[in-house]
A = this chain, B = another copy of it.
Amino acid sequence: MTPARSRRPGAPTRTERGIPEATVARLPVYLRALTALSDSGIATASSEDLATAAGVNSAKLRKDLSYLGSYGTRGVGYDVEYLRYQIAREIGVTQDWAVVIVGIGNLGHALANYSGFGTRGFRIVALLDAAPELVGEKIGDMVVRDFAELEEIVAADRVSIGVITTPAGPAQEVCDRLVAAGVTSILNFAPVVLSVPDGVDIRKVDLSIELQILAYHEQRKSGEAALPPVPELPAMNGVVTDLPSVGGGVGA
């Protein structure tokens, strides 16, 4: 293998066998593409085939895969099953991860009803909510339990991943409870910036932000002309009045 080179400039800083973050984010896409090919009975695929299925360029895909090791065959391509296993192993979904969902409202219900997680390396072990009227409700083959049982459940089921689907208000508090209970990865749907100690990973899914990014590009397509009138520094350093009310609220 490549001998340990001493920090060539331009090379991404990675710890031993560490994989660049951008690559990590694409591995699940490749995994899904491989599963699709496998389901179609395709045994071998070239980087070009895979890249098309995953919606990326083939040079990028080859470089991404090269971080995992040398799993292809020149002149032939990649063995679909074998590569799939290698990626799954690298991501860590050859085993199942226990997950709790906190806040069983609109979104929590949707997630609880979703069957796609089980086939992708995750097992929902508990649905938790603080509202007494929700506790005890059956969703599929699960029952909503009291948020107070969190610590017990995390310890019993070795839960390392928590999903937050409460309103924004209590989200930080819920987050703190999760962390204190031993959860070290959090997926947050509430529109707030959560703070967590070092060692805890957090990812956020924010639909309003996604839509606003689309809106930015949409506005651009309509042509600069369509931009609202620019009030050039009308009332800086003073009482700013008469600005129209604008989107971007912090609602629960």
Interface on A for B, CB 8 Å cutoff? 17, 19, 24-25, 27-29, 31-36, 39, 53-55, 71, 73, 76, 79, 81-82, 84-85, 87-97, 99, 106-107, 109-111, 113-117, 119-122, 160-161, 184-187, 191, 193, 195, 199, 201, 203, 205-219, 221, 224, 227-228, 230, 235-237, 240, 243-244, 246-251
Contacts and interface: CB of A to CB of B under 8 A. Distances in A.
A187 B210 contact: yes
Contacts of A213: 24-25, 28, 203
A138 B43 CA distance: 47
A58 B26 CA distance: 29
A50 to B, nearest CB: 11
A198 to B, nearest CB: 11
A211 B121 CA distance: 9
* Residue among A33, A87, A207, A212 facing the most chain B CB atoms (10 A cut-off): A212
A29 B93 CA distance: 31
26 contacts: A24-B213, A31-B247, A32-B250, A55-B193, A71-B236, A73-B236, A84-B248, A88-B247, A89-B228, A89-B230, A92-B218, A93-B246, A95-B228, A116-B251, A120-B211, A121-B246, A160-B218, A161-B211, A161-B218, A184-B218, A184-B221, A187-B210, A187-B214, A201-B214, A203-B214, A205-B205
